[in-house]
Amino acid sequence: MQRHLISAADLTRDDAVLILDTAEEMARVADRPIKKLPTLRGRTIVNLFFEDSTRTRISFEAAEKRLSADVINFSAKGSSVSKGESLKDTAQTLEAMGVDAVVIRHGASGAPYRLANSGWIDAAVINAGDGTHQHPTQALLDAFTMRRRLIGRDAGLGQDLSGRRITVVGDVLHSRVARSNVDLLHTLGAEVTLVAPPTLVPVGVETWPCEVSYDLDSTLPKCDAVMMLRVQRERMNAAFFPTEREYSRRYGLDGDRMARLPEHAIVMHPGPMVRGMEITAEVADSDRCTAVEQVANGVSIRMAVLYLLLGGNEPAVTHSRTEEK
């Protein structure tokens, strides 16, 4: 594994499977009455959030605390960033405090890469979402959720997602979740189809390792998982479709469309969901929708990533076989 986690494309198949397997170990900690490991005691981790976040921020914080790290939360609002301070000066302030890892979310694609490769800091850098570029821990938690649901918790250990068919639907153009998932799912052997209106398909998509379709109804009967994306209005500076109603009619997932999926197939969403737009409440609240499970899995994945980047070579969790039973 590399020292930083900037892009899902940096992970080899073996790296990715190791993270998923380690996350399974970490998930067992969540089943214990005391959900804590001493692994990162004495290490300091900063959560540097320049963009809004609910799930990702809380999830990283929970993961860090479960590993006993000292946690510093920084959000751009209310900090000197709103007074015009640069990323470099912010980074050097963190370096002066001796942080061991920085979890960064930033509106600018490439900000985590810059932080990791600038020489400004010595800490490990973990990308928690940069602009429209990458969100590698989201792709990992999505792959973890798919492996558990489609293969099984124990049966999945050591396995990738070879031959599984995943459809990603919606605002691909603005989605770091879609980009990260295409990279990671391809590395794990899955076949990905993107479905979006032509205006929300990125230029250059033909170089991505996936198929593209404009017709949701014909792809649904062939997939093992369908991942719905939010329409990212905050990143749009033009009209990409006529009306919301028109978008939902063609690209939204409702009960009738969900019925076209094979029986075993799951419905995924990274959150935040806009009910009535890309997904109806009926689908969001159905047993097939894994949105809440994805959030829980996010904590295990982030524990695994932090452990592997900072923790070292010992087994992630030491427990005797009898304790497991």
Whether the bond into 242 is cis, omega within 30 of 0: no
Question: Closest Cα partner for 269 from 247, 253, 250?
Answer: 253
Residue nearest to ligand NCD (CB): 230
Number of residues that bind ligand NCD (CB under 6 A): 11
From CA 318, how far away is CA 126, in angstroms rounded? 25
Minimum distance between the CB of residue 39 and ligand NCD, rounded to whole angstroms?
25
Q: Where are the beta strands (DSSP E) in the chain?
A: 44-49, 70-75, 101-106, 124-130, 165-169, 191-195, 211-213, 225-228, 266-268
Minimum distance between the CB of residue 305 and ligand NCD, rounded to whole angstroms?
14
Cβ proximity to ligand NCD: between 112 and 129 the closer is: 129
Of 47, 102, 270, 304, the residue at the interface with ligand NCD (CB under 6 A) is 270
Of 5, 29, 177, 308, the residue at the interface with ligand NCD (CB under 6 A) is 177
Minimum distance between the CB of residue 285 and ligand NCD, rounded to whole angstroms?
18
Does 317 bind ligand NCD (CB under 6 A)? Our answer is no
Of 57, 149, 176, 179, the residue at the interface with ligand NCD (CB under 6 A) is 176
Of 22, 39, 56, 90, the residue at the interface with ligand NCD (CB under 6 A) is 56
Cβ proximity to ligand NCD: between 180 and 219 the closer is: 180
Cβ proximity to ligand NCD: between 186 and 230 the closer is: 230
Cβ proximity to ligand NCD: between 129 and 197 the closer is: 129
Q: Where would I find the H helices in 97-164? A: 111-117, 136-150
CB 71 within 8 A of CB 65: yes
For 59, 60, 242, 293, the CA distances from 55, given in Å and listed in that order, are 6, 9, 30, 12
3-state helix, strand, coil in the chain (%, to 5): 40, 15, 40
CB 55 within 8 A of CB 105: no
Site string for ligand NCD, 99-138 (x = CB under 6 A): ------------------------------x-----x--x
Cβ proximity to ligand NCD: between 48 and 121 the closer is: 48
Cβ proximity to ligand NCD: between 164 and 176 the closer is: 176
Minimum distance between the CB of residue 295 and ligand NCD, rounded to whole angstroms?
8
From CA 48, how far away is CA 181, in angstroms rounded? 23
H/E segment holding residue 296: helix 291-306
Minimum distance between the CB of residue 90 and ligand NCD, rounded to whole angstroms?
21
Minimum distance between the CB of residue 157 and ligand NCD, rounded to whole angstroms?
26
Of 271, 276, 293, 311, the residue at the interface with ligand NCD (CB under 6 A) is 271
DSSP type of residue 309: I
From CA 1, how far away is CA 8, in angstroms rounded? 12
Written as one letter, the residue type at 253 is L
Q: Tell me the sheet residues that pair with 81.
A: none
What residue ranges bind ligand NCD (CB under 6 A)?
55-56, 129, 135, 138, 176-177, 230, 232, 270-271
